[in-house]
Structure 1
Amino acid sequence: MSTQSKRSPAPPPGIYVPAVIFYNEDETIDDGPTADHVLRLAKGGVTGILVQGSNGEAQHLIREERIHLLKLARSTLDAAGFNNVIIIAGTGAQTTRETIVFCQDAAAAGAAFTLVLTPSTWAKNMTKDAILRFHRAVADASPIPTMIYNFPTVTAGIDLDSDTISALATHPNIVGTKLSCANIGKLHRLASLFPPSQFAVYPGASAVFAPGLLCGSAGIIGALVNLVPKCHVRMYELWLKGEREEAMKLQAMMAHADWATGRMGGIGALKGLISKNFGYGNGHVRGPLFEASEEALAKTEGTFVLELLELEKSL
């Protein structure tokens, strides 16, 4: 049982980005372009940065690297005057014990919230009761509020339904969820049950950003924000002002670009496009992932990627 007497605050609505990190050729972390990227995202107007999400290759990092990257992001933001930009730390691990350690590390390194994947090594043993017990135990022990990260692609197909997530949402230290399952029905059910100030629901893909807002989401935590943060902020502003037709034009472009970057090579493609268009970093990823080829990165024609990049540079 939780010993907390007061409900923790949820992250504010807005644009969040699971930031990529950059490596040297030998797969060691390259601090310079990683910090440059954090700074470009902040200047682009994002509300917060998710350090060590799936796009940040969290599962490829050792504990010391996780701590280092959180401190690097926080110090970079603070030194540039972006103290208000929130850091969410990905703290998923394969045991309850290690997940709690990562949550404690995240708090000490300056994160405001943690995003917790459900363990999946023993997927068949992760019954609903086991999932509830895990997330509640982590939330009980975490010194900062936790969020539930639902991403079946990286959890051996484990897909938390709205009943499970809504049961967890009543815990005083569980304050939100990222739905990388892109299930709008699930998002709508959750957003209709809880105000975003209590439990914030975010879609995990730009392809469903506006549909999520229509159904009551608190914004977005999406990979494509790495490439075009200003475009996402622009779309969100149009939506909030009631300029829905213009917002949906931009939403359509992002839906196409989200799909296209995935087909180009996912994380490696995002890094390659960032390097090619903004002058820092490279496309290196840690094995077993593959770097996107130049041929793949060149296939931007007709995908709305070029059009979005042009808009991004004009904003």
Structure 2
Amino acid sequence: MSKPAPPPFGVYVPAVAFLDENEELDETGIGQHILRLAQGGVRGILVQGSNGEAQLLSHEERKTAIRITRDTLDKNGFKDTVIVAGTGAQSAKETIKLCKDAAEAGAAYVLVLTPSTWPKQMTPPNIIRFFHRVADESPLPIMIYNFPTVTAGIDLDSDTIIAIAQHPRIVGTKLSCGNIGKLHRVSSALPSAEFAAFPGKSDVVLQGLFSGSAGIIGALPNVAPKAHAHLLKLYGEGKLEEATKLQSLLGQSDWELSKLGSIGGIKAVVSKHFGYGGPHVRSPLAPLLDEQKVTNAKLEELIALEKSL
């Protein structure tokens, strides 16, 4: 069996899912956000990544968010923009169900987290078996999501990722661990025509490109998709001095955004500077309601650049 093509090179964004004051999906805000990201030059949208509050949504809400994304893209001339759906769950059975739901709702790929309820049981053989079982039954090609922060500290090493990737329907990885050495080992061991390795943080976009990455899947493109697309363009044109300067701004901005409280911070910044959505998140997360905290010099510089591109 030949492998499906991996996600194409480019900027991917784990989109936040805007909610109203009652913590219900804000379909208008979600649509406005997806359209701005697509117009900003992203290659794909990750729906229900960690920034999409996936674990806090019902199965039906997750399908709805994918449908809104696909419909918004299609109605506005972005039919080629790829949708990746986060489908991680604590059992193989539920993960497979979420993969099937994602296919029905319009996704092209799924991104699967390592289960983490029983971390001592998550040995490499068990993890490999889990991913291979899901890949056997998923209607969509699978990407491996390595994010120790949300998986009880479980951090897949390059040997395990390469072993998982031997399955013919596993075509990529998002490395939110930010380990460029790991990314380089994976990208050099697996053909880029069959497997795409993406860093999961904007503070290592350029470093990832030098190490064979397929672009970036990161939170900061929620704020500045054009700036990230511009960095990939500068790199492709060999303008490394300009690319390095822009990478510095992205790295510092990514750090500042993380200090605002992740999802709540992203929503507050986007709402304030781009005029749609709101700061609401689903409990137990907390919104960022203090507008003074939304402002800092590096993010302001990045947003000014974004609006100029």
Measured against aligned partners, the alpha-carbon deviations of 1:153-190 in whole angstroms (never above 9, x if no partner) come to 00001110000000111110000000000001100100
CA contact (8 A) 2:265 2:294 kept: no
Deviation at 1:108, TM superposition (A): 1.1
Deviation at 1:287, TM superposition (A): 1.0
What CA distance in whole angstroms lies between the structure 1 residues aligned with 2:70 and 2:293? Answer: 31
* Equivalence for 1:307: 301
What CA distance in whole angstroms lies between the structure 1 residues aligned with 2:193 and 2:236? Answer: 17
- Structure 1, 38-47 or 292-301: larger mean CA deviation: 292-301
Measured against aligned partners, the alpha-carbon deviations of 1:200-254 in whole angstroms (never above 9, x if no partner) come to 0000000010000011100000000000000000111000000010001000000
The reply to whether residue 200 of structure 1 matches residue 192 of structure 2 is no
Partner secondary structure for residue 139 of structure 2: coil
Find 1:181's aligned residue among 163, 177, 180.
177
* Equivalence for 1:235: 231
Aligned partner of 1:289: which letter?
A: L
Aligned partner of 1:156: which letter?
A: A
Partner secondary structure for residue 21 of structure 2: coil
* Equivalence for 1:87: 83
Deviation at 1:298, TM superposition (A): 3.8
The reply to whether residue 285 of structure 1 matches residue 281 of structure 2 is yes
What CA distance in whole angstroms lies between the structure 1 residues aligned with 2:292 and 2:175? Answer: 28
CA contact (8 A) 1:13 1:196 kept: no
Deviation at 1:195, TM superposition (A): 2.3
Find 1:109's aligned residue among 91, 105, 109.
105
Q: What is the alpha-carbon root mean square deviation over aligned residues? A: 0.9
Partner secondary structure for residue 70 of structure 1: helix
Partner secondary structure for residue 34 of structure 1: helix
* Equivalence for 2:94: 98
State how 1:1-315 maps to structure 2 within 5 Å: 5-294=1-290, 297-301=293-297, 304-315=298-309
CA contact (8 A) 2:142 2:169 kept: yes
Partner secondary structure for residue 4 of structure 2: coil
Deviation at 1:32, TM superposition (A): 0.2
Partner secondary structure for residue 202 of structure 1: strand
Deviation at 1:98, TM superposition (A): 0.3
In structure 2, list runs of 5 or more residues that go unmatched: none
Deviation at 1:123, TM superposition (A): 1.0
What CA distance in whole angstroms lies between the structure 2 residues aligned with 1:287 and 1:259? Answer: 24
What CA distance in whole angstroms lies between the structure 2 residues aligned with 1:176 and 1:298? Answer: 34
Partner secondary structure for residue 275 of structure 1: helix
Aligned partner of 2:32: which letter?
A: D
What CA distance in whole angstroms lies between the structure 2 residues aligned with 1:298 and 1:225? Answer: 16
Using a 3 Å threshold, how does the CA distance of structure 1 residues 296 and 204 change in structure 2: closer, same or farther?
Answer: farther
What CA distance in whole angstroms lies between the structure 2 residues aligned with 1:175 and 1:242? Answer: 28
Deviation at 1:296, TM superposition (A): 5.6
What CA distance in whole angstroms lies between the structure 1 residues aligned with 2:146 and 2:29? Answer: 29
What CA distance in whole angstroms lies between the structure 2 residues aligned with 1:184 and 1:82? Answer: 31
Partner secondary structure for residue 26 of structure 1: coil
> How many pairs does the alignment contain?
309
CA contact (8 A) 1:265 1:296 kept: no
CA contact (8 A) 1:208 1:255 kept: yes
In structure 1, list runs of 5 or more residues that go unmatched: none
Between the aligned residues of both structures, percent identity stands at 56
What CA distance in whole angstroms lies between the structure 2 residues aligned with 1:299 and 1:82? Answer: 32
What CA distance in whole angstroms lies between the structure 2 residues aligned with 1:141 and 1:164? Answer: 21
TM normalised by structure 1 equals 0.97
Aligned partner of 1:310: which letter?
A: A
What CA distance in whole angstroms lies between the structure 2 residues aligned with 1:298 and 1:47? Answer: 27
